[in-house]
Amino acid sequence: MPMYTASRISNNGNVLYPDAIAIDDYNVTYYKGRPVGYETTIIPRHCINGVFLDSHILFADIVISSAGRETISVHGFKKSIAREIVKILTQ
């Protein structure tokens, strides 16, 4: 299961607790870093409606929307990693 972690130097304030996404055959799991532990959001892959890439100068943001569930917004990925995530989720 690949795990992708956002950059610690992005401009969205995740220096100490970077966000991460884990992708397996059945689920996309979002880990939101906290001072103690993390918050987890899980979206089944068959419920994903769209994957959007918002590219900036150095980093990119990913928004994953789902049918009847939460939307995941992750900020601060390197552009190459963000493109890889979008490619995996849109195959």
In the prediction, which pLDDT does 88 show? Answer: 92
Provide DSSP, 26-61.
Answer: SEEEEEEE-SSSEEEEEEEGGGEEEEEEEE-SSEEE
- Determine the average pLDDT of the residues in 58-68: 89
**Which tokens belong to 14?**
């995740």
Pairwise pLDDT comparison (69 vs 82), residue with the higher score: 82
> For 35-57, what is each residue's pLDDT tens digit?
888 889 999 999 999 999 998 88
The greatest distance separating any two alpha carbons of the chain, rounded to the nearest whole angstrom, comes to 35
* DSSP state at residue 67: S
- The model carries a pTM of 0.83
Does 11 score more than 70 pLDDT? Answer: no
